[in-house]
Amino acid sequence: MVPLSAYVAVSAILFATGLIGVLIRRNFIIVLMAVEIMLNAANINLVAFSHYLESMAGQIIALFVIAIAAGEAAVGLAIIIVVFRGKISTNVDEMNLLKW
Amino acid sequence: MFELLVVLIPLFPLTAVILNGLLGHRYSHEAAHKLAWGSVGLSFLCAIGVFADTVKSGGAAREVTVYQWIFGGDLTINLAFLIDPLTCIMLLVVTGVGFLIHVYSVGYMHGEEGFTRFFTYMNLFMVSMLLLVMGNNYAVLFIGWEGVGLCSYLLIGYYYDRVSAAKAATKAFVVNRIGDAGFLLAIFLVFVNFKTLDYTKVFAQVGSLAPETATAIALCLLIGAVGKSAQIPLYTWLPDAMEGPTPVSALIHAATMVTAGVYMIVRNHAIYDLSPVAMTTVAWVGGGTALFAATIGLVQTDIKRVLAYSTVSQLGYMFLGCGVGAYAAAVFHLMTHAFFKALLFLSAGSVIHALGGEQDIRKMGGLKSKIPWTHRLFLIGTLAIAGIFPLAGFWSKDEIMAHAFTHHHYALYAMAALGAFLTAFYMFRLTYLTFYGESRVDHHTAEHIHEAPPVMIGPLVVLAALSVVGGFPGVPPESGWFHHFLRPVAAAAGDTHEPSAGVVLTLMGVATVIALAGWGLAHYLYRARPGTADAWAARMPVAYGTLLNKYYVDEIYDALFVEPTKRLGVLLDWFDRTVIDGVVRTVGRLTETGSAVSTWFEKHVIYGVLNVIGYANHLAARSWRRLQSGMVHHYAAIIVAGLFILVHLLLLWWTGSSPIGIALR
């Protein structure tokens, strides 16, 4: 019987990994993958608490999150392709037109 | 069957108008003219059928409704036809003479520019004229009335590239407008008083009409009739209308359209019978015109213009007949006049055709041997119109004059008798100058003189036969077959006057003597002693000049009406340009100035305020806007930082301490 704290710890580590990835990596694709990691960290948390609290709500929300993650990945990749066509680059730092 | 025949009568020419008008340019002239005269011929056959049916039914008036046209409130107008003896006579005259003239036109118009257009207009005229005589109410009559006016305009201006033709067409149209205005007023008065426009309903309750109202309606109708039938004072357009092709003059300006006024008065005689004032006016207008136009005809030198004044004069006789209550006689004269005047015009057309377009009788003469058929036919027409026994004109004209005499209108009788003398004189003068004596045709034209083709002579022969025998249906005067047939519609109320046979025969004798006297004088002046006429003219320069210039009526009308109207137009033009345009321009300039002021205010004041506000914002935001770096990482970091701060604040609030050791208390 794995205690809840273990799930929460794994979830926290994954979330921190994803967060750091989003903040420090420059490649748009990597940033997207980091975002996926963060979402999955949240999923682990949800499923763990669902089991612990014996409520199905958490698992349902996890399913929603997976669906949203898929949609987000599709839109994100599409944006990457469009930007790549114009800039021949996936470097996030070069995408700074929308500013003051 | 009867209904079908009635509806077909106007439908045949209408079909021809649509086909020739829309598709005529696609097929040959031959197809176009066959369609044109063929359709009128079929109408004529239908008219004969309708006529025979009406005779069989003893002259009963029958109505055929095609459809309800306008309805609303008190007003209901049907497109409906009234077939009674009067309509039957008019139908036969219009379609019969119309058919002959259409056939003649095929030869006369051969090779003319706009051949198909000519026949389209002619057929459209037939449709309008048939509506005019067949309608059972004033509205349909008015449509036909305007339609024939339009066709008259179009056909007078047929040679539209000739200025004189265009002017004559406009003149005819404008003068007719004056008459039409009166006619419209009459229709309005009828509607106001009877709440209906149907003849039968109106005439059924005509007895309830106040005499003053009857007079007003009758006089307004008379204005319309005077315009259409070219009577004093609106006759000036008809002589000018001779600018149109000769078949047009024969059909529209002699045989049919100009008699519409007579038809209208006879049709409305129930109203006229109520108003002695209107009757007297009609009689004097007619008598005056008969004499007046005949005097002008004495000295004219254009073959068609002589005939035009003769037409005006003969229409005057018809009006005179209406005015003295001889409605049947007026219609009788209308019919015989259609025969012999169409014959005269078409023969004149044949002369003009032979001479290559020459219309001046001073350049004719001696044509008798060159174009013998035309000469014979023209002579028959002349004898008929002059009133030589026993041709058509003798019976009808004599009857009108006799009626005037036996009903004690002696002054009118005297005018008519003098007019008859002048008629005989000018018609024989025309014949002598054209066909007899020395040839005054110029050498070049003389070589090309030729008799008209059979297609032109054929209709003339038929018309000549009708001019000879056309008077017999009206024999004996006032009680012939014609009068019995017309009695249901054209008998003046309460006229039981029966003149004695002796008086009638005496008047006939007088009329014959008058006609022969006119003939004799013409023979003396133009045949026996050529040159005498010129000597007489030279001895009376004032009288001759006055007649030659048509009593200067055109000039007087010009000075009294046309010129002032033109000057008023110039004045109004000036007023429009200076006053009205001035006001408009001033308003425009004011608006322009106002907008300039407004523009300056906006540019300098409002923009200034806005710019100050904008610049203030700009200054205030300068140091902060760098926050929007456009870098995704920066935004993500700020979000994370914010998240941390929020979580800390939450924990601080819930527990009183925070993981990084900040204590609230």
ipTM, two decimals:
0.83
Distance CA B132, CA B287 (A): 26
Q: Are B327 and B273 in contact (CB under 8 A)?
A: no
pLDDT at A100: 65
User: Distance (Å) from the C-alpha of residue B657 to the closest C-alpha of chain A?
Assistant: 21
- Cβ neighbours of residue B601 closer than 8 Å, sequence gap 6 or more: none
Which of B623, B629, B631, B643 best probes binding to A when mutated, by most A CB atoms within 10 angstroms?
B631
pLDDT at B660: 67
User: Distance (Å) from the C-alpha of residue B640 to the closest C-alpha of chain A?
Assistant: 8
* Rg, C-alpha atoms of chain B: 39
pLDDT at B606: 93
- Residue found by looking up tokens 């004596």 in the block: B437
| B340 pLDDT more than 80 | yes
Closest partner residue to A93 among B627, B631, B636, by Cβ?
B631
**What is the number of helices (H) and of strands (E) in chain B?**
29, 2
Distance CA B631, CA B640 (A): 15
A29 close contact with B: CB closer than 8 A: no
Closest partner residue to A100 among B625, B633, B637, by Cβ?
B625
Is there a contact between B637 and A23 if contact means CB atoms under 8 Å apart? yes
User: Distance (Å) from the C-alpha of residue B628 to the closest C-alpha of chain A?
Assistant: 5
| B556 pLDDT more than 80 | yes
Percentage of chain B beyond pLDDT 90 is 60
SS3 B549: coil
For residue B37, count other CB atoms closer than 10 A to its CB: 24
For chain A, first and last CA: distance in Å?
Answer: 54
Is there a contact between B633 and A92 if contact means CB atoms under 8 Å apart? yes
Is there a contact between A93 and B636 if contact means CB atoms under 8 Å apart? no
Residues of A in contact with B631 (CB under 8 A): 92-93, 96, 99
Q: Estimate the share of chain B in helix, then strand, then coil, as percent rounded to the nearest 5.
A: 75, 5, 20
Average pLDDT taken over every residue of chain B: 90
Q: Are B323 and B329 in contact (CB under 8 A)?
A: no
Q: Are B352 and B358 in contact (CB under 8 A)?
A: yes
Closest partner residue to A97 among B625, B630, B633, by Cβ?
B630
Across A75-79, B126-130, B661-665, least confident range: B661-665
pLDDT at A1: 72
Across A4-13, A81-90, B279-288, B305-314, least confident range: A81-90
User: Distance (Å) from the C-alpha of residue A88 to the closest C-alpha of chain B?
Assistant: 18
Is there a contact between B640 and A19 if contact means CB atoms under 8 Å apart? yes
What backbone torsions phi and psi does residue B658 show, to the nearest 5 degrees?
-130, 155
Query: CA of B628: which chain A residue's CA is closest?
Result: A99
Q: Estimate the share of chain A in helix, then strand, then coil, as percent rounded to the nearest 5.
A: 80, 0, 15
Which of B201, B180, B181 has the alpha carbon at shortest distance from B190? B201
DSSP state of B379: H
pLDDT digits (tens, 9 = 90+) for B125-174: 999 999 999 999 999 999 999 999 999 999 999 999 999 999 999 999 99
Mean per-residue pLDDT for B302-313?
A: 93
Cβ-based interface (< 8 Å): residues of B facing A: 625-633, 636-637, 640
Tell me which amino acid residue B219 is.
Answer: L
Across A13-27, B150-164, B528-542, B603-617, least confident range: B528-542
Is there a contact between B630 and A95 if contact means CB atoms under 8 Å apart? yes
If pLDDT is split at 50, 70 and 90, which confidence band does B248 have?
A: very high
Residues of B in contact with A34 (CB under 8 A): none
- Cα angle B384-B390-B391, degrees, rounded to a multiple of 5: 25
